[in-house]
Amino acid sequence: MRLVPRRIDLFLEASGRACPAPTSSTCRAAVALAMVAAVCFAQTPTAPQIAGRLTANDLKADVSFLASDELEGRATPSKGLDIAAQFIAAQFRRAGLEPAGDDGYFQTAAFSSVKPNLEGLELTLEIGGRKIAVERASMALSQPVPASLDDAPALRVAASGIASLTPDQTRGRALLIEAARPPAAAATWAPAITILISSQGPRATSGRSALRDDSAPAPGAPTVLVWDAAIRSALAAAPDAEVKVSARIPAPAVEPVKLRNVAGILPGSDPALKDTYLVMTAHYDHLGVRAAGDGDRIFNGANDDASGTASLIEIASALAALPAKPKRTIVFIALFGEELGEIGSQYYVRHPLFPLAKTIANVNLEQLGRTDDSEGPKIGLFNLTGFDYTTMAEAFQKAAEEAGVRAVNDQKNSDAYFGRSDNARFADAGVPSTTVSVSYMFPDYHAVGDEWPKLDYENMAKVDCALALAAFGLADSLDAPAWNAANPRTARYVKAREAGK
């Protein structure tokens, strides 16, 4: 802003002050600096300003719709998910966010529904000379690629050994991995088959087709999730035994499916920094409807993650209503498919709407409404996953203090949960990231009892006020967040960030 003399005189008159010499360049320069400082100070929102625009009642209205029975658990894909996407787009439009997708507020993702032929599925493991046929009811095809194997030697990999596995070790082998889902590194592997051994079945409801990103390279080998008790017992009893795999996996039925991320932006105000981006995310999908059983069968997903989606909407609305905007652009994205392995965020980082090299950070919102944590009440606080992975914690702590809550480092869960939500896909691409939660584990997690009346909306509003202040502060700072290179757990993310520049 260029200050002309007349504006300085008006400022002095209004403030009841006068320069000893009205033409003094020293006095005018001092006043000019004071005015600039006043303007800059006014641009930083206060907790009361945010709280007046972000209310518990608005959050309750959003969550009660998104988690209503009418949306039938927002499975990916489903009619309920499509309705939720339209609702979120309408709220972004109401807030005045600019659309950021290829179709208005929608980033359209071309996927295929791939339905396995379970009737022809056969899988046998020979463990120490003993052959055990896997029960069909205790396995699922997460990547149903046709295959035929006979007594293929398996490479057994414990969870602790996944990070050190190389593509050369996997090529053409049958992989036997103790994990519930393929790790991110699996994209570089080329095995003949991957068998995931888990204590439980898939998080999604049974009978659902797998989804394939048509823009990604075609999968080269099948992936089978096995939770058969007999298989797990035999493997545990013979940890060093040789394992051989025989499999018959028929070709699946394939149909096109359209899925959508919902994206809007609050443009930055600084000419030099507006083309850099803070991305805030929350997933709007959940588990759908249980295939069979008596009573309530709808997984409403109120806390997981209608609470995060509602927070995304209301934080966007509160920041958009402020008279001043942060220097950098804030991108708000509601993501599909987190419950199926973060496929919506994975699609975004493969097809970013804004350059990842210019994306300063990802702040992901999960499970912000329930305070009845399984470890005890969580009131007046929130957690950051990977608390000391990045330089962002200080900004959240400062904002939390102003909003009257606390940003804490949950020593037990912070690192363990870092890879369990959409922030992990941004981290894999090198973008400094974290997921913000109030409760990591709560009664009704992934159960039909996760319903909207059980959320603490007053506490949620206070936490969201802090998150809005933190988002503004991160986007308004001249210094971009960075990975903490001194933490050995961030080495792969630091490397990915350097590679992406």
- What residue ranges do the domains of the chain occupy? 47-113+256-500, 118-251
Residue 188 confidence (pLDDT): 79
Displacement of CA 264 from its chain's centroid (Å): 16
Q: What is the mean pLDDT of residues 208-228?
A: 86
Q: What are the distances in angstroms from CA 169 to CA 143, 155, 162, 184, 186?
A: 20, 9, 11, 16, 12
Residue 14 confidence (pLDDT): 36
Beta strands in 343-405 (DSSP E): 359-365, 372-373, 376-377, 381-384
Please give the DSSP secondary-structure letter assigned to residue 483: B
Per-residue pLDDT for 114 more than 60? yes
The DSSP element (H or E) to which 309 belongs, if any, is helix 307-320
pLDDT averaged over every residue in the chain? 89
Q: Which residues pair with 258 in a beta bridge?
A: 110
Tokens of 458: 């007053």
Q: How confident is the model at residue 40 (pLDDT cuts 50, 70, 90)?
A: very low
Q: What are the distances in angstroms from CA 304 to CA 283, 285, 458?
A: 8, 9, 18
Choose between 284 and 27: higher pLDDT: 284
Choose between 199 and 49: higher pLDDT: 49
Per-residue pLDDT for 209 more than 50? yes
Q: Which residues pair with 361 in a beta bridge?
A: 278
Per-residue pLDDT for 24 more than 70? no
Tell me whether the CATH fold assigned to 47-113+256-500 matches the one assigned to 118-251: no
C-alpha dihedral, 281 to 282 to 284 to 285, nearest 10°: 110
Asked whether the beta carbons of 157 and 177 are under 8 A apart, the reply is yes
Alpha-carbon distance of 250 to 451, in angstroms, equals 39
Residue with tokens 């600084």: 270
Backbone φ and ψ of 156, nearest 5°:
-85, 130
**CA atoms within 13 A of residue 362's CA, in its CB half-sphere:** 34
**CA atoms within 13 A of residue 348's CA, in its CB half-sphere:** 37
Q: How confident is the model at residue 116 (pLDDT cuts 50, 70, 90)?
A: confident
* Other C-beta atoms lying within 10 Å of the C-beta of residue 56: 18
Tens of pLDDT, residues 75-105: 999 999 999 999 999 999 999 999 999 999 9
Architecture of domain 47-113+256-500: 3-Layer(aba) Sandwich (3.40)
272, 358, 365: which is closest to 312 by C-alpha? 365
Residue 183 confidence (pLDDT): 75
Asked whether the beta carbons of 255 and 176 are under 8 A apart, the reply is no
pTM (predicted TM-score): 0.81
Per-residue pLDDT for 269 more than 70? yes
First-to-final CA distance of the chain: 32
Residue 35 confidence (pLDDT): 45
Please give the DSSP secondary-structure letter assigned to residue 468: H
Residue 208 confidence (pLDDT): 59
Which of these CATH numbers, 3.60.60.10, 2.30.110.10, 3.50.30.30, 3.40.50.170, describes 118-251? 3.50.30.30
Residue 12 confidence (pLDDT): 36
Q: How confident is the model at residue 1 (pLDDT cuts 50, 70, 90)?
A: very low
Residue 179 confidence (pLDDT): 85
Residue 10 confidence (pLDDT): 33
Choose between 337 and 24: higher pLDDT: 337
